[in-house]
Amino acid sequence: MLKIKTGDIKAISTGLLMIPVAEDKSIHGNKAVEKLVETAKTYSEFKGRKGDELLFYQPEGVKAVRVLFLGIGNTAAVGPESLRKAAGKAVKKAIRLRVSDLLISLPDARKLPIGVTPVLRALFEGAYLGNHIFDYYKADKKQTPVKQIGVFVNDAAAKAGRGIPERVETVCKSTVLAREWVSMPPNEKRPDRFARSIVKAADKEGIDITVLDEPDLKKNKMGGILSVGAGSKSRARMVILDYKPKKAGKTYALVGKGVTFDSGGINIKSGGSLEDMKMDMGGAATVAATVIAAARLKSKDRVVGVMPLVENMPSGDAARPGDIIRSYSGKTVEIGNTDAEGRMILIDALAYAEKLFKPDIMIDMATLTGACIVALGEKIAGVFSADKKLSEAIVAAGETVYERCWEMPMPDDYKELLKSDFADIRNIGSSRWGGAIAAALFLSDFVENARWAHIDIAGPAYVKKGSDYCEAGGTGFGVRLLIEAMESL
Ligand code: BES
Ligand code: ZN
Ligand code: ZN
């Protein structure tokens, strides 16, 4: 689906050729492309400014049926994200025009403040992700995704770009998988079904798969997961995906919050958009999709994914505020609020992952707190870790793939807020403020020695409104981030 194309652009036939155009200078080395850009810029509405758009039909000099010019602004401010967006826009245009193949002209990286590899990666990523349409539940499938996406390059860039399309396709396919799981309605992904769906996706990828059902969870004394799952007819599961190459390097344990619907439980959520709480399994979706991507990329490291899956529902059997449960670690937890359920399932999964797999690095991803959205808004994830090197690597990986992360503090003295009069710890803080920090500190009590980071993705896991390369619904946030971070560590 993604391809590098070389040769003579004048002779390549395509339904739509997209040429990114800068405002301040020429960024293409190819003469035929430059000539087209010159003509485009003679029109007053097109100067290469950000957002400028112009479409030609069968222009002279190239075989393309249509040529789309997209402005990307001044070169000094152009980064990979400008190119992802332009590529996303181009593929959306191709879909609207009912064109089945798209060709993108690669700008000369020497004329941009970024290297050729990031330029190629960004164009392929934006185009692949922008081509994703989630219309499974619609009878009338109005839009058809583009079948072929090519980037036209000169011979030098072709050499530098070897392997990039395949790699981007593998990783972004997993991003799309995570998106679809998150967008799926909650009645179709209750824990048993979601577990089966993960097993199906991970099957035949060289991954060891284990699914713990409720009796297994009981045997393992996973009181946290069991208490959250108690209110739902669809009983809890824990899925473990283990990609273990021969002579593995590091061992990564990835843990993902998998609340298939968060009603709040007995502390039922009031108002707000309860229907969006189908996205509360975004962490599990990302983790499962990441393990699958790592296996397909034949990563040299062992990557284990641990996904506790529950539905948080009120019922006569549901957990109550005031309940005290014994978690897998042996520590008791007093439930102050049944809506703080994510941390209850994560503490069992974290303790289990650390004990069984002895990971060098453990990272959990969770749509954990509304407070993190208050702090960082809807597009930036919060990173919590006592390990500075680890959090810095995650933040840096986030910059590279534009899944932005911000380091948050874990002040020791705030732990006092989690004191319980009756149990070892309470699942909510006694203060109204600093909820994302309280949640992270709560989790930290259940990690013993592993290098560990917690990523709160409550904001970026889901969007109400689509943008250039992501439609409304699940974003798949975290797959590209984790793959990049694991490679950099
Ligand atoms: N799943 C929510 C967090 C959330 C909120 C995710 C909005 C995405 C969008 C979580 O389980 C929750 O309800 N957290 C509570 C914690 C509180 C009860 C201490 C919250 O953030 O209000
Ligand atoms: Zn909740
Ligand atoms: Zn939740």
Q: Which of 95, 164, 168 is nearest to 126 (CA)?
A: 168
Whether residue 344 is found in the same domain as residue 441: yes
Residue 367 lies in a domain: yes
Distance CA(425)–CA(324), nearest Å, equals: 10
Q: What is the mean pLDDT of each run of 10 residues along the chain (489 residues)?
A: 96 97 96 97 98 97 97 97 98 98 96 96 98 97 96 94 98 98 98 98 97 98 98 98 97 99 97 92 99 98 99 98 98 98 99 98 98 98 98 98 98 98 98 98 98 98 98 98 98
Q: Are residues 177 and 133 in the same domain?
A: no
- CATH number of the domain enclosing 265: 3.40.630.10
Could you give the C-alpha distances from 53 to 14, 46, 183, 284, 324, in angstroms and in order?
19, 7, 31, 39, 60
Residue 81: give its domain's CATH number.
3.40.220.10
Q: Has 219 been annotated as catalytic?
A: no
Q: Does residue 15 form part of some domain?
A: yes
What is the C-alpha radius of gyration for the chain, rounded to an integer number of angstroms? 24
In-domain check, residue 267:
yes
Tell me, in angstroms, the distance from the centre of ligand 2 to residue 266's CA: 11
| 179 close to 478: Cβ distance less than 8 angstroms | no
Check residue 272 and give its pLDDT.
80
- Residue 163 inside a domain? The answer is no
DSSP state of 286: H
Tally of domains within the chain:
2
Domain final position from 123, 156, 189: 156
Handedness of CA 271, 272, 274, 275 (dihedral sign): positive
Q: Out of 237, 278, 302, 343, pick the active-site residue.
A: 343
- Count CB atoms within 10 A of the CB of residue 336: 18
Ligand 1 atom at shortest distance from the alpha carbon of 341: 11
- 412 belongs to a structural domain: yes
Residue 121 placed within a domain: yes
Atom in ligand 1 nearest the alpha carbon of residue 269: 13
218 and 339 share one domain: yes
Residue 478 lies in domain: 168-488
Partner residues linked to 243 by β-bridges: 303
Residues 368 and 338 in one domain: yes
Strand order in the sheet with 425-426: 324-326, 332-334, 425-426
Name the amino acid, one letter, at 474: G
Atom 3, ligand 1: residue with shortest CA distance: 369
Annotation says 269 is catalytic: yes
Cβ neighbours for 60, distance < 8 A, ≥ 6 positions apart: none
Q: Are residues 198 and 296 in the same domain?
A: yes
The residue whose C-alpha atom lies closest to atom 7 belonging to ligand 1 is: 370
pLDDT computed for residue 271 by the predictor: 81
The continuous run of DSSP H or E covering 90 comes out as helix 80-96
**Both 479 and 382 in a single domain?**
yes
Number of H helices, E strands in the chain: 14, 20
Tell me, yes or no, whether 417 and 293 share the same domain. yes
Residue 34 belongs to a domain: yes
Three-state secondary-structure class, residue 325: strand
Same domain for 290 and 197? yes
Residues 176 and 151 in one domain: no
User: Does an H or E element contain 69, and which?
Assistant: strand 66-71
Q: Is 231 within the bounds of a domain?
A: yes
pLDDT reported for residue 83: 98
Of the candidates 126, 156, 186, which is a domain's last residue? 156
- 340: Cβ below 6 Å to ligand 1? yes
Residues 120 and 240 in one domain: no
Quick one: which atom of ligand 1 is closest to the CA of 461? 8
345 and 464 share one domain = yes
Shared domain for 210 and 237, answered yes or no, is: yes
Task: Point out the domain boundary residue: 156, 187, 202.
Answer: 156
User: How many angstroms separate the Cα of 52 from the Cα of each of 72, 106, 205, 467?
Assistant: 8, 18, 43, 16
